[in-house]
Structure 1
Amino acid sequence: MVVKKKHNAASSNPLRVEGDFTIYTAAALKPALLEALAAQEQPALDLSLVSEMDSAGLQVLLLLKREADKLGRPLRLIGSNPLVMEIIELCNVSSLFGQDLCHDA
């Protein structure tokens, strides 16, 4: 699992999550994602290259959403692949992301 961000963290350039977003990687990724979220004025998370996701990955997404809401910054999910969308919809949490849930990067 890899998290990539551009050097201009305050911009609207999305964070890109690549690889597995599962119980085996979520705990290690959480601090980096939270730090990057706090640094972005218009946070966006590109999930198009996530190859596997489980409920632990979803929990991190929900935590990021909650923290973004506390900061008054909508967290946009972009580039969501069918795997990610299936988990979000299966767990009935798509409404929590509302308009911030995008299917294209």
Structure 2
Amino acid sequence: MSHKDTAPDAGANVRLALDADLTIYHTVPQKQALIEALAGSNRLELDLSAVGDIDTAGLQLLILVKREARVQGKEVVITGHSTAVRQVIDFCNLAAAFGDPMILPA
């Protein structure tokens, strides 16, 4: 994770920009960081524009964070889908399940 931006109403909105691959080799520390960020916010925005690679472990991590947010009555929004993220979400036919708008490059 590269950086965390907290809105003026601290704790309410947190934005995380992930700059590491979402693969089995990275998901354990990423899981802890994402769960902690969710615990400290009401709305968590995950910017995935710098994610170069994602596998099923990374996809499971995103699903887990979305599910945890729902259980806690919070919101997780995924933005800046990198090409790798878009391809995996499309391949697994999960765009509707995530519910986040994906902007396709021209």
When the two structures are superposed, what TM-score results if normalisation uses the length of structure 1?
0.85
Bigger Rg, structure 1 or 2:
2
Identity, in percent, stands at 38
Corresponding position of 1:61: 62
Corresponding position of 2:82: 81
Aligned residue for 1:77, secondary structure, equals: strand
Gaps of 5+ in 1: none
Letter in 2 for 1:54: D
Compute the displacement of 1:102 (Å).
4.1
Compute the displacement of 1:4 (Å).
2.3
Distance 1:57 1:41, change over 3 A: same
Separation (CA, whole Å) in 2 of partners of 1:89 and 1:7: 30
Corresponding position of 2:23: 22
When the two structures are superposed, what TM-score results if normalisation uses the length of structure 2?
0.84
Compute the displacement of 1:6 (Å).
2.6
Runs of 4+ residues deviating >6 angstroms: none
| Alignment pair present for 1:103 and 2:103 | yes
Compute the displacement of 1:61 (Å).
0.2
Corresponding position of 1:33: 34
Gaps of 5+ in 2: none
